[in-house]
Chain A
Amino acid sequence: MLFRLDDVQRHFGGVHAVDGVSLEVEQGSIQGLIGPNGAGKTTLVNVTTGYTRMQHGRAFLESDELTGLPAHRIAALGVARTFQNIRLFKDLTAVENVLIGMHTRFRDDTPAQLATLPFFRRGEQQRIREARQLLESVGLPESDANRHAATLPYGAQRRLEIARALALRPRLLILDEPAAGMNPSEKQGIRELIERLNADGLTILLIDHDMRLVMGVCKRVAVLNFGKKIADGTPSEVSTDATVIKAYLGTGGEREVASAPGASGVDEETAVEEAAFARRPAREPEKAILDVRDLTVSYGAVVAVRGASFRVAAGEVLALIGANGAGKSTILNTLSGLVRPESGSAVFDGLDLTSAKASSIVRHGLVQVPEGREILARQTVLENLELATWARRDGAATRRDIESVLKRFGILGERRHLSAGSLSGGEQQMLAIARGLLAKPRLLLLDEPSLGLAPQMVDEVFRAIEEIHQDGTTILLVEQNALRALAIADRAYVIETGRILLSGSGDELLHNPAVRRAYLGG
């Protein structure tokens, strides 16, 4: 056994980010680590590599105990990592980045540097040669070696980060989402690189949201959810494991899961929302309030959305579902005018969303409730709502509107004078939605309303969404919790790596095995 975690715990306040996880990585294997957003994967990596102290448990690399060591010692012992959001030394060249990776393997060369003469600096020349070889071995072209890291294309930056980690000569390499934001051919390249490194004898712990990649290269896969390990086994065992499917596709739709292929043995605890069965036909609407065509959005070199087209008819609930990183939030941010698309069109009730200002989009009646809620934690509930209406000049009507949303979300009415930060996650989500309603939306965009919420709270939030819909507001819902979203949606689109994979009525998709594959690969 090369690497072992023993009952590791890490809490932040009351949040159990990692809650008693044990994990073993065999010498020479590729171990996968997956889990929905917020499952605690990155915290586990941070605890393992010494950035964050573990509050309980122990970690071993072969016979060396890592528990409690500072991060630089753990790295020197042979645990190298890459970062989810690339952390290169941007102002240094590719070669210099790799040279820094060799830091622990060489002695101080200050006397040689002071002596200046090339004779004394042969060691340095040797290191530079080795750095170039490493760059070549991860597939970085010779011409990139002396370019500054910040100027390299995205895929090359990912590879450079791997080369820098390899420069440590690690015993264990932890790759934190190495394929994030890559297009399929780049992903294939990364996959080949990972397999080649492993064939050379390197043990790898791979964390990624791309199930095709994880299931494809890993011998074993461990699954985290809410800080606990819920499964550990071969890719095929894990991808058909009922608890895993539930963790990924969400709670509240268990009956449907049971009928999904490969998902037998799920408890039928809760009845599915009645609404899930009150179906309307799933045709593309003739008259759309929102019409999106061939939308392509990039962040620099990363293409987040690739030619998405969809329409929303007035009065419907439309869901966009898909795994983390699929491009869902990007679509919403583009519709709100926060991100500008590269190409394609988006028209909301006659307004061209690709060029209109964000503020005029809101005035036109398209309102987004952002992911992560973004409420003002120190202000009271009432102040949060009042701030949302500061541009309005009709005092009496504004107060009436605030009262009416406080009445709709009774719990907010009771807590109007409490600071928003003291509310539970679900209540905060309701506050965010209430704030959105004050802008009098005709189309309400909801981004991950169930993110990080306990199942009961998810129920309440979705009930509130249903009510708003019944009052005549059109809703575009983005969710990772697919089954829950499909249960209230009239129609839905499944998105994978920036493309729309399938569409249909919520009911059809609930039973479509392709939905599970979009999340769990296979």
Chain B
Amino acid sequence: MDFFFSLFSDPVGFWNSHTLLIAQIGINSMLATSMFLVLYSGQLSLAAPGFMAIGAYTSVLMDLHWHTPLPLNIAAGVVVAGVVGFLVGLPVLRLRGVFLAIATIGFIEALRLGVILNVPITGEGLGLKNPHADPLGGVPIVLLSLAVVVFIVWRLTKGRLGNAWSAIRQDELASLSQGINVARYKMIAFVLSALIAAYAGGLEAHLNFFVDPGDSQYGVTRAVQVLTFAVLGGSGFVLGPVVGALIITLLPYIFEAAGDYINILAGAFLILVIVFRPQGIVGRGGLALVRPAWWPRARVSAVSPG
């Protein structure tokens, strides 16, 4: 509890001693917002780490080879990810639910194992050195970016675009009957989420002297972590996934007193949250032991009044 105590007793000291942690929370929160966008439009896409990798590698490689300035590098990474997102989305967004999830896992694994670990320019399995990284100076940019991204996404969900996403999430067929071009709006959400993930990826690379192509960075492990942010925090409101990212990134500190048992306690905590708040921490309704929608229940099939 020293950790949280110092947050209040000595904020300046806290900031100085935990800068990297704060930056990581910011990056994770942006990824969580990217995840929020696809979930809000009813798409279980796990592609975020792939777009992160595109943003990170594009930005670092441009810096290494062309010595271009950081804003341009990150912008280029975002654009490339947007284009890739569009091309990947064309075939993949015809899928729904768990099939979309598997297809997007295919995408990130193909990108990581097939491209990043195989092409000489990315350093293959060894990763890339990033001499111009600025771990400490990047933090304010990260936090400012997070605020801007969250604001934009929040406003988008409130307008015509957000209404269309919400409608698609709840009932695609009924959305079509209201004249909503379902394929187009899904694509918009998918590409926007790719842009945000790539931006977060570019920023994250700027915080580290080394770009690590490992599974926990750009692979399935990261994808599942990002999904957990959204599910734990709640995907009905923009701030839900951000809260999820905050809590999960802080789990080691929250349970630091548990010592060796920390993973057991953290796991139990996650299970309890999901059992008592299946809609996520941020969301409608109070604490309840709610039966999730997919839970099998005694139901009479084919009950038609007649």
Q: Chain A: residues with CB nearer than 8 A to chain B?
A: 37, 49-51, 70-73, 75-76, 80-81, 83, 87-92, 96, 99-101, 103-104, 106-110, 112-114, 116, 124, 164-165, 167-168, 180-181, 209, 299, 302, 304, 322-330, 333, 338-339, 370-372, 374, 498
Q: Which residues of B contact A100 (CB under 8 A)?
A: 163-164, 166-167, 175, 178, 180
Among candidates B171, B179, B306, residue contacting A89 with C-beta atoms closer than 8 Å = B171
Is the beta-carbon distance between B304 and A75 smaller than 8 angstroms? no
A106 to B170, CA, bound (A): 21
Is the beta-carbon distance between A104 and B170 smaller than 8 angstroms? no
Among candidates B152, B166, B300, residue contacting A339 with C-beta atoms closer than 8 Å = B300
Is the beta-carbon distance between B163 and A96 smaller than 8 angstroms? yes
Among candidates B166, B180, B300, B304, residue contacting A338 with C-beta atoms closer than 8 Å = B300
Chain A proximity of B187: nearest CB distance (Å): 14
A240 to B287, CA, bound (A): 60
Is the beta-carbon distance between B302 and A371 smaller than 8 angstroms? yes
Is the beta-carbon distance between A76 and B179 smaller than 8 angstroms? yes
Indicate with 1 or 0, residue by residue over B143-171, a CB within 8 angstroms of chain A CB atoms: 00000000010011011111110110011
A457 to B92, CA, bound (A): 45
Is the beta-carbon distance between B156 and A113 smaller than 8 angstroms? yes
| Chain B: CB-nearest residue to A79 | B177
| Chain A: CB-nearest residue to B236 | A91
Is the beta-carbon distance between A329 and B177 smaller than 8 angstroms? no
Known: A209-B306, A302-B305. 13 other contacts (CB 8 A): A72-B175, A75-B176, A88-B171, A89-B166, A91-B170, A100-B164, A100-B180, A103-B178, A110-B161, A323-B306, A328-B306, A333-B300, A370-B302
Q: Which residues of B contact A113 (CB under 8 A)?
A: 155-156, 158-159, 161-162
Chain A proximity of B297: nearest CB distance (Å): 13
Interface membership of B263, Cβ < 8 A? no
Is the beta-carbon distance between A109 and B305 smaller than 8 angstroms? no
Is the beta-carbon distance between A90 and B160 smaller than 8 angstroms? no
Is the beta-carbon distance between A101 and B178 smaller than 8 angstroms? yes
Is the beta-carbon distance between B300 and A181 smaller than 8 angstroms? no
Is the beta-carbon distance between B179 and A104 smaller than 8 angstroms? yes
Interface membership of B216, Cβ < 8 A? no
Interface membership of B224, Cβ < 8 A? no
Given A89-B170, A329-B306, also A72-B163 (CB < 8 A)? no
A327 to B306, CA, bound (A): 4
Among candidates A72, A338, A498, residue contacting B182 with C-beta atoms closer than 8 Å = A72
A434 to B301, CA, bound (A): 21
Chain B proximity of A482: nearest CB distance (Å): 14
A124 to B163, CA, bound (A): 12
- Name which of B158, B173, B174, B179 has the most chain A CB atoms within 10 A of its CB: B179
Is the beta-carbon distance between B306 and A325 smaller than 8 angstroms? yes
Among candidates A89, A104, A168, A327, residue contacting B174 with C-beta atoms closer than 8 Å = A89
A114 to B162, CA, bound (A): 12
Q: Which residues of A contact B173 (CB under 8 A)?
A: 51, 83, 87
Chain A proximity of B302: nearest CB distance (Å): 6
Q: Is the interface of B mostly helix, strand, loop or mixed?
A: helix
Interface membership of B68, Cβ < 8 A? no
Chain A proximity of B25: nearest CB distance (Å): 25
| Chain A: CB-nearest residue to B300 | A338
Is the beta-carbon distance between A51 and B176 smaller than 8 angstroms? yes
Given A113-B159, A116-B155, also A72-B176 (CB < 8 A)? yes
Interface membership of B181, Cβ < 8 A? yes
Is the beta-carbon distance between B178 and A90 smaller than 8 angstroms? no
A37 to B305, CA, bound (A): 13
Chain A proximity of B279: nearest CB distance (Å): 10
Interface membership of B303, Cβ < 8 A? yes
A394 to B283, CA, bound (A): 55
Q: Which residues of A contact B178 (CB under 8 A)?
A: 75, 100-101, 103-104, 164, 167-168
Q: Which residues of A contact B158 (CB under 8 A)?
A: 113
Given A108-B160, A116-B155, also A374-B177 (CB < 8 A)? no
Q: Which residues of A contact B161 (CB under 8 A)?
A: 108, 110, 113
Given A72-B182, A100-B163, also A325-B305 (CB < 8 A)? yes
Among candidates A51, A114, A324, residue contacting B306 with C-beta atoms closer than 8 Å = A324
- Name which of B167, B171, B178, B182 has the most chain A CB atoms within 10 A of its CB: B178
| Chain A: CB-nearest residue to B160 | A109
Q: Which residues of A contact B155 (CB under 8 A)?
A: 110, 113-114, 116
- Name which of B171, B180, B301 has the most chain A CB atoms within 10 A of its CB: B180
A140 to B112, CA, bound (A): 55
Q: Which residues of A contact B164 (CB under 8 A)?
A: 100, 103
A394 to B275, CA, bound (A): 44
| Chain B: CB-nearest residue to A112 | B159
